[in-house]
Structure 1
């Protein structure tokens, strides 16, 4: 197959990273059947759905695969953890090029409307109580998304802090202190005693504006990068608004979007 056929959808070189992460295709023990659609075409179709926000049934015929085939393989790959491993692999490549800056990390969240409700969707306090979700993002000092998460819109932002930082490391076995953020920047929503004590226990510095006593304006010098990262992620139309009812299909799209953001950063800084 002509690889250039999918260059308008898949960034150059991304397929070579993703291919080893895919589970092996199931083979009928009795033989026969219809030949599997090429994985690369399905991978391109999934990225097209993420970028364009189109419904599965609206996939253009140029991918040579039916919407049921693409959706079925998307579910299989999602259950196999492909998108999270792809994100981690690209972060590893960035780290090998010394392109991850953990001198400080930035945590923020953004509301997305959940058109069909479902799990991890709740009445949004910023959207007149309509169903929505909260997208949590942890980035490095340059806005590279290190972790992403999802919760119901009526969940307090501070509850996302611990899950986003728990067990986080970049794999520097010989330099453990360099494998986690040295300082965390967050907005006033995280100004709660328990998260502060937890961060102190992890030896992570804290830069969170205190409610009623400190302005968030000075933190903007560090936190603007996370606003840019949020705009990168919400630029993928399948994420905002949220159409999937089940987190099992929402999470994979969010993980794939984070992987794409990291890969574009890698291309930009190494070309």
Structure 2
């Protein structure tokens, strides 16, 4: 995350008990490093074991994410960021209306059959995530069930959780899948008015009032590769991944006071005949430092290799009869030769001691 995003997240982070003198074991890693590691997994969709070596060990990172999900620290961080974004947009922190909808995603092979199913309408086998968002599209409640669960059946625990967390909500918009006895049950049991937004009779694509907000939120979640397919064994971890994705979005929106939520997450408009450029890289928002065009960071990566060696490393190496992987060692020698004068001798000594003498490939 950038320095501006970290200042936003840092102000909303829950304070550990050991920092306030209330006991507990001090943590061994910085919160910023751990948050960057979890965000890397959510954004790129890699396995926990495939985290780059620049981050802490993946078992520590996974335990950190699991602990924050189980203790409610992630939900607290998400709610604080959402309240700040709502205040920035000129709204009250307590929402009074919500929009609900669901989205079916395919499940990976590690997802157990007990928590997955088949969605006959969408022809998707996996899980279904149910969202309740506010009028800005920010997530209020998320619930993950099997794809075979109907929307009106999953809406019962979803609305119960919504009523328990937000007493100020009085109106809920939904599509035709939530019509029926759910409307009467929500009015009599929870005191919520469920208004069904029906599809128009016109052919073609039509933007439906209020329903487009939650559809836009579902498209925001698909930007995180971890959420394109369900890889989580537990449904609770999938719900946590949704919250992590939204924290990334809200932390990126908040530092720029000149923009709004829609201007950051929507695709920029390009007039007809204009050249296709990336305005977020060419023209930085006012009040922020220009981003580096290659690393997309406020602190460009400083390499200790000269540009000529960079080009040599990126150039394809010919096969000179070496064993598989031998050219990789040559590149490592090239890199270490620049960093340490005695690196080639050290590498030759290690190769002769551990891997034996060089043997050329026998021609066939």
Question: For residues 154 and 241 of structure 1, what CA distance do their matches in structure 2 show?
Answer: 16
1:124-174 per-position Cα deviation (integer Å, ceiling 9, x unaligned): 3256463x11111111122222221111100001123232222536989xx
**Is the contact between residue 183 and residue 193 of structure 2 (CA under 8 Å) also seen in structure 1?**
no
TM-score, normalised to structure 2, is 0.59
Task: Decide whether aligned partners of structure 1 residues 58 and 133 sit closer, same or farther in structure 2, where only a CA change above 3 A counts.
Answer: same
User: Per chain length, whose mean CA-contact separation is higher, i.e. which structure has more relative contact order (CA < 8 Å, sep 6+)?
Assistant: 1
Once the two structures are TM-superposed, the CA of residue 70 in structure 1 deviates from its matched residue by 1.1
**Is the contact between residue 188 and residue 216 of structure 1 (CA under 8 Å) also seen in structure 2?**
no
- In structure 1, the residue matched to 2:65 is 74
SS at match of 2:226: coil
Consecutive unaligned residues in structure 2, runs of 5 or more: 260-364
> Does residue 239 of structure 1 match 2:239?
no
> Does residue 155 of structure 1 match 2:149?
yes
Consecutive unaligned residues in structure 1, runs of 5 or more: 1-5, 29-34
Task: Decide whether aligned partners of structure 1 residues 206 and 263 sit closer, same or farther in structure 2, where only a CA change above 3 A counts.
Answer: same
Question: For residues 216 and 144 of structure 1, what CA distance do their matches in structure 2 show?
Answer: 29
Task: Decide whether aligned partners of structure 1 residues 73 and 171 sit closer, same or farther in structure 2, where only a CA change above 3 A counts.
Answer: closer
**1:1-271 correspondence runs (5 A):** 6-7=1-2, 11-21=5-15, 24=18, 27=25, 36-63=28-55, 65-97=56-88, 98-99=90-91, 102=95, 104-116=97-109, 117-118=111-112, 119-126=114-121, 128=123, 130=125, 132-166=126-160, 168=162, 179-180=168-169, 182-193=170-181, 195-201=182-188, 202-209=190-197, 215=200, 220-267=208-255
CA RMSD across the alignment:
3.2
Task: Decide whether aligned partners of structure 1 residues 208 and 243 sit closer, same or farther in structure 2, where only a CA change above 3 A counts.
Answer: same
**Is the contact between residue 209 and residue 216 of structure 1 (CA under 8 Å) also seen in structure 2?**
no
How many correspondences in the alignment? Answer: 247
Task: Decide whether aligned partners of structure 1 residues 15 and 234 sit closer, same or farther in structure 2, where only a CA change above 3 A counts.
Answer: same
SS at match of 1:158: helix
TM-score, normalised to structure 1, is 0.77
- In structure 1, the residue matched to 2:330 is none
Task: Decide whether aligned partners of structure 1 residues 71 and 146 sit closer, same or farther in structure 2, where only a CA change above 3 A counts.
Answer: same
Higher Cα Rg, which structure = 2
